[in-house]
Amino acid sequence: MMYSKVMLIDDNDLDQFVNSTLLKKSGIVANTKGFVSAKEALDYLLTIEDEFPDLILLDIKMPEMSGFEFLDRFAEIPDSKRAGCRVYMLSSSNDLVDMQKASENPHVCGYINKPLDPRTIKNILCPKTNGK
């Protein structure tokens, strides 16, 4: 098991269910917690003390607060609290501007195009294969 706590932030319930199931079946994830709102996810992160996730999979295009707006606020969380947390953008957007913006964000480890699949989980999400 490589990740004990994974947060899925996506306004699509079906995507969350499928991604949670795939991650658990992969054997690299123990627990997932899903949020359909980036704002609710951020509020949760600001209130927890010692349950900070090891991995966050973040959609870009969501109502109320986008994935990029979430990242701006995520950066305000003290380094000591978010240390060791890996953030990947998981989006259906093929917009080069979105991809570039994600790659330039220091909190983003990578950009994954939906749908998530077992090969992506193995090749991208395993910590030993990605140095950021």
Q: Report pLDDT digits (tens) over 14-52.
A: 999 999 999 999 888 889 999 999 999 999 999 998 789
Contact 57, 8 (CB under 8 A): yes
Per-position b or e across 23-39, b if 16+ CB within 10 A of its CB: beebebbebbbbbbbbb
pLDDT of residue 129: 43
Q: Where are the beta strands (DSSP E) in the chain?
A: 3-9, 29-35, 55-58, 86-91, 108-113
Q: Which residues contact 116 (CB under 8 A, 6 or more apart)?
A: 18, 19, 22, 23, 57, 90
Give dist(CA 50, CA 38) in Å, integer.
Answer: 20
Tell me the CATH architecture of domain 3-125.
Answer: 3-Layer(aba) Sandwich (3.40)
Three-state DSSP state, 88: strand
Q: What is the pLDDT of residues 61-111, one digit of tens each?
A: 999 999 999 999 999 999 999 988 999 999 998 899 999 999 999 999 999
Q: Judge whether residue 1 has pLDDT over 90.
A: no
109-120 pLDDT tens trace = 999 999 999 888
Backbone angles phi and psi of 101, in degrees to 5? -60, -40
Query: What angle in degrees, to the nearest 10, is found between the helix axes of 38-47 and 67-74?
Result: 20
Q: Specify the 3-state DSSP secondary structure of 91.
A: strand
